[in-house]
């Protein structure tokens, strides 16, 4: 979710669901230690609960980064052992660490020793020619022994040679049953499933077998599905009845961003999928894509885009 789940995206998604745990983009441990922390890991208090996803393979560096993360007020630290990009392979972190459960365990232990918030691990079921039955159990057992609080499993292998990061999200076949078997073997360990889950109906089906569901592309590309998460998956009241109400509630955040010198497009690029499948959705996206990217664009552009959907729905209602 690099370049997707930035702080503006997360603030928008929080408006849609009060209960969902949000995750940052992956940030390397060294970037947290040496980089511009406000830019890299700064977040708004409205985002809670929110987890910072860390990348790295040096226990000492990860321990330092974890301590900084905790000081900044994050609710969870998630170690990424699932990203297959060339960049993470070159830095010896991400999915290539599936081959070294002992090192991953050392990283988890180092982070746990210095923080009081949960430390979790996100992984694949295996990489390259690994047997997922062996590889996933080996990693899970190692990190749990080191103190990991939760396992999130993308139910696909990662092929580090021969497939691009994009292809690794789609081509390796999904094996949800392998994740279910992990949960059956570890009944007292929270196990979250990830990969190819496109609706709340699918999420509810998975929750018969595991403890949680991580949504990625579906939540980003069709954010309206988050409007029903609180009631359907948490038994709580949904914060907004529809996308129109959610956008109106999000306006103060957008106004503050604009007043601080930010651009409308910084935020609305994460909102393009909001009305997917509804009348006027194409006109909504087109207006944001053309007018929302202009340096002077303000809330009036967003309101006009939303009105495209509102008017289209009113016209459909009259015809019906």
Q: Is 107 a catalytic residue?
A: no
CB 156 within 8 A of CB 172: yes
Handedness of CA 190, 113, 216, 72 (dihedral sign): positive
Question: Could you read off the pLDDT tens digit of each residue along the chain, which spans 320 residues?
Answer: 667 899 999 999 999 999 999 999 999 999 999 999 999 999 999 999 999 999 999 999 999 999 999 999 999 999 999 877 665 555 577 788 999 999 999 999 999 999 999 999 999 999 988 999 999 999 999 999 999 999 999 999 988 776 666 676 667 889 999 999 999 999 999 999 999 999 999 999 999 999 999 999 999 999 999 999 999 999 999 999 999 999 999 999 999 999 999 999 999 999 999 999 999 999 999 999 999 999 999 999 999 999 999 998 888 878 76
The model's pTM: 0.92
pLDDT at 315: 85
pLDDT at 283: 96
Q: Which stretches of the chain are assigned E, i.e. beta strand?
A: 22-28, 50-55, 76-81, 119-127, 151-158, 191-194, 212-214
Instruction: Please pick, among 83, 96, 107, 123, the residue that the annotation labels catalytic.
Output: 83
Total residue count of the chain as it appears in this document: 320
pLDDT at 83: 79
pLDDT at 318: 81
Distance between the two ends of the chain, CA-based, in angstroms? 40
DSSP 171: S
Residue 55 main-chain phi, psi, to 5 deg: -120, 140
């Amino acid at each position: 979710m690099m370049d997707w789940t930035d702080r503006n995206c997360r603030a928008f998604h929080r408006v849609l669901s009060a209960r969902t745990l949000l995750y940052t983009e992956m940030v390397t441990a060294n970037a947290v230690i040496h980089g511009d922390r406000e830019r890299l890991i700064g977040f708004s208090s409205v985002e809670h609960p929110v987890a910072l996803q860390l990348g790295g393979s040096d226990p000492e560096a990860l321990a330092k980064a974890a301590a900084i993360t905790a000081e900044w007020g994050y609710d969870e630290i998630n170690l990424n052992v699932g990203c297959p990009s060339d960049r993470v392979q070159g830095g010896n972190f991400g999915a290539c660490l599936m081959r070294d459960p002992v090192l991953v365990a050392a990283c988890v232990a180092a982070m746990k020793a210095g923080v009081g918030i949960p430390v979790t691990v996100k992984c694949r079921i295996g990489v390259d020619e690994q047997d997922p039955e062996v590889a996933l159990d080996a990693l899970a057992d190692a990190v749990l022994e080191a103190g990991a609080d939760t396992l999130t499993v993308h139910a696909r292998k990662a092929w580090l040679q021969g497939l691009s990061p994009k292809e690794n999200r789609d081509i390796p076949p999904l094996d949800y049953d392998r994740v279910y078997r992990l949960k059956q073997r570890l009944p007292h360990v929270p196990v979250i499933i990830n990969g190819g889950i496109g609706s709340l109906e699918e999420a509810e089906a998975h929750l018969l077998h595991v403890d949680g569901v991580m949504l990625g592309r579906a939540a980003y590309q069709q954010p309206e599905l988050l409007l029903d998460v609180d009631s359907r998956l948490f038994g709580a009241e949904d914060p907004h009845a529809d996308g129109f109400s959610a956008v109106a509630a999000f306006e103060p955040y957008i106004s503050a961003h604009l007043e601080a010198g930010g651009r409308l497009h910084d935020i609305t690029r994460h909102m393009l999928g909001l009305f997917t499948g509804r009348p006027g959705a194409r006109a909504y996206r087109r207006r944001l894509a053309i007018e929302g990217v202009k340096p002077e664009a303000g809330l009036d552009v967003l309101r006009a885009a939303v009105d495209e959907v509102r008017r289209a729905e009113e016209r459909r209602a009259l015809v019906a």
